[in-house]
């Protein structure tokens, strides 16, 4: 029988639900600090599509918002001024497939696509100097059996950290540009659950990955869950710092007959599934997590709540934004938090800015 891996997550709506304790976050974090927007930051109207995620560092603010034949929009993080669009979608030498996730580190923005199995890198200096069509540099074409990645960070031009599913068991893998696996670590939460085949298990273990700006320390949040891992590379090996597994995702593994001998697989959300962690941002001091404890049938994947942790995994504080955010990014140099929102009056996408004022 032919098999087709359907890489989607289906949300099902039910009227019954299992209640979680309403004050479990209050038991772990101080009272939320109310945030007020900072004036003088204005993203031009009509410059954004639907914002999937953002990244910010070194005065550069990047939004992943597929439109107009390109993947990303670059703004000045200080003023919100539009710099240009880049990441032309296509198959040419200076083009990339649609849906490439990226990671901004200093003056490098690395992107990957796990279907095509490549890692490429843009120079932020070239993009800021007006070369919006600057060709990305190919760092690697990888081919590792039994590996499917949700996120990837290029540690340098030849070493990469991936998060997703490896050998139907491991969450993280360290590999080089020659596809040699240097280390693997941390069983996924459903590693021993036979109801999840490889494809469904991968769908159930997607999330967001961030890195300490100057150290080989990382944090990974699991989608639709309250699970967050802190880990590091120590002497070339992956080592756990702390795991905050406050609530596994709730999925129903499913197979569907697509006809003509094809079978599709999906990880269906249930009446008990929560929005959970939405995305992460990081500075040298803290990890910021956009999080919602609401049920998926009650809310879109958005939230006003930002949880803050130190790099040892200790809860530090909570922020309450004045609008629902779909993605966040943080600029350490200016001490600003950026949030992608939808304007209530027009329904258009916008990016707003909040001063952190952290001691």
**In degrees, to the nearest 5, what angle opens at C-alpha 203 toward C-alphas 50 and 89?**
40
The pLDDT value given to residue 3: 44
The pLDDT value given to residue 39: 87
C-alpha closest to that of 154 among 167, 136, 169, 171:
136
341 domain residue, yes or no: yes
When pLDDT is averaged across residues 127-156 and rounded to a whole number, the result is: 89
Average pLDDT of the chain to the nearest whole number: 91
H-only helix segments in the chain: 124-128, 198-203
Q: Would you say residue 17 has pLDDT above 70? A: no
42 domain residue, yes or no: yes
> 4 or 185: which carries more pLDDT confidence?
185
The pLDDT value given to residue 133: 58
The pLDDT value given to residue 149: 98
Q: Would you say residue 16 has pLDDT above 90? A: no
Number of C-beta neighbours around residue 59 at 10 A? 15
CATH number for position 109 = 2.120.10.30
Phi, psi of 128 (to 5 degrees): -70, -25
25 domain residue, yes or no: no
Residue 295's domain comprises 2-14+30-355
How many structural domains compose the chain?
A: 1
Residues 23-51 pLDDT 10s? 789 999 999 999 999 888 999 988 999 99
20 domain residue, yes or no: no
Please, which contacts does 164-173 make with residues 24 or more away whose CB atoms are closer than 8 Å? Answer: 164/114, 164/202, 164/205, 164/206, 165/198, 165/201, 165/202, 165/205, 168/198, 168/201, 171/205, 171/220, 171/229, 172/220, 172/231, 172/238, 173/144, 173/147
Question: Token match 């497939």: residue?
Answer: 97
**In degrees, to the nearest 5, what angle opens at C-alpha 240 toward C-alphas 103 and 336?**
40
- For residue 179, with 0-12 CB atoms within 10 Å meaning exposed, 13-18 middle and 19 or more buried, which class applies? middle
Strand partners, 104: 109
The pLDDT value given to residue 13: 32
pLDDT category, 21, cuts 50, 70, 90? low
> 39 or 322: which carries more pLDDT confidence?
322
Decide: pTM greater than 0.85.
yes
pLDDT category, 22, cuts 50, 70, 90? low
Q: Would you say residue 72 has pLDDT above 90? A: yes
199 domain residue, yes or no: yes
**In angstroms, rounded to a whole number, what is the distance separating the alpha carbons of residues 250 and 328?**
24
210 domain residue, yes or no: yes
Residues 176-228 pLDDT 10s? 999 999 999 999 999 999 999 999 999 999 999 999 999 999 999 999 999 99
The pLDDT value given to residue 85: 92
The pLDDT value given to residue 11: 37
**In angstroms, rounded to a whole number, what is the distance separating the alpha carbons of residues 347 and 50?**
11
Residues 250-278 pLDDT 10s? 999 998 888 887 888 899 999 999 999 99
When pLDDT is averaged across residues 52-79 and rounded to a whole number, the result is: 94
22 domain residue, yes or no: no
The pLDDT value given to residue 255: 87
When pLDDT is averaged across residues 340-354 and rounded to a whole number, the result is: 95
310 domain residue, yes or no: yes
**In angstroms, rounded to a whole number, what is the distance separating the alpha carbons of residues 224 and 231?**
20
The pLDDT value given to residue 256: 86
């Amino acid at each position: 029988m032919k098999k087709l891996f359907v890489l989607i997550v289906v949300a099902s709506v039910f009227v019954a639900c299992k209640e979680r304790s309403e004050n479990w976050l209050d038991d772990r974090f101080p009272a939320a600090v109310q945030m007020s927007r900072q004036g003088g930051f204005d993203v031009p109207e009509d410059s954004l599509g639907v914002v999937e995620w953002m990244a910010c560092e070194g005065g550069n603010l990047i939004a992943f918002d597929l439109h107009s034949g390109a993947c990303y929009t670059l703004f000045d993080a200080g003023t919100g001024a539009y710099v240009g669009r880049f990441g032309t979608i296509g198959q040419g030498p200076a083009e990339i497939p649609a849906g490439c996730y990226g990671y901004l580190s200093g003056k490098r923005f690395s992107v990957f696509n796990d279907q095509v199995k490549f890692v490429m890198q843009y120079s932020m200096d070239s993009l800021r100097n007006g070369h919006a069509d600057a060709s990305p540099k190919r760092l690697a074409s990888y081919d590792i059996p039994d590996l499917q990645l949700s996120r990837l960070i290029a540690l340098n031009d030849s070493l990469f950290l991936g998060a997703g599913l490896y050998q139907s068991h491991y969450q993280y893998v360290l590999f080089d540009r020659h596809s040699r696996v240097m280390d693997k670590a941390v069983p996924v939460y459903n590693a021993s659950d036979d109801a999840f085949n490889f494809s469904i298990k991968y769908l159930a273990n997607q999330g967001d990955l961030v890195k300490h700006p100057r150290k080989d320390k990382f944090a990974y949040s699991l989608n639709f869950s309250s699970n967050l891992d802190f880990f590091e590379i120590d002497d070339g090996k992956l080592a756990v710092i702390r795991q905050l597994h406050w609530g596994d995702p709730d999925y129903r593994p499913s197979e569907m007959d697509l006809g003509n001998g094809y079978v599709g697989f999906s990880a269906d959300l249930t009446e008990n599934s929560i929005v959970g962690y939405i995305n992460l941002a990081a500075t040298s001091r803290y990890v910021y997590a956009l999080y919602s404890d609401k049920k998926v049938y009650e809310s879109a994947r958005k939230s006003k709540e930002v949880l803050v942790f130190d790099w040892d995994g200790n809860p530090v504080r909570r922020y309450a934004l004045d609008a629902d955010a779909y993605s966040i990014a943080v600029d350490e140099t200016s001490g600003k938090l950026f949030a992608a929102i939808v304007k209530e009056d027009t329904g258009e996408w916008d990016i707003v800015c909040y001063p952190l004022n952290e001691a």
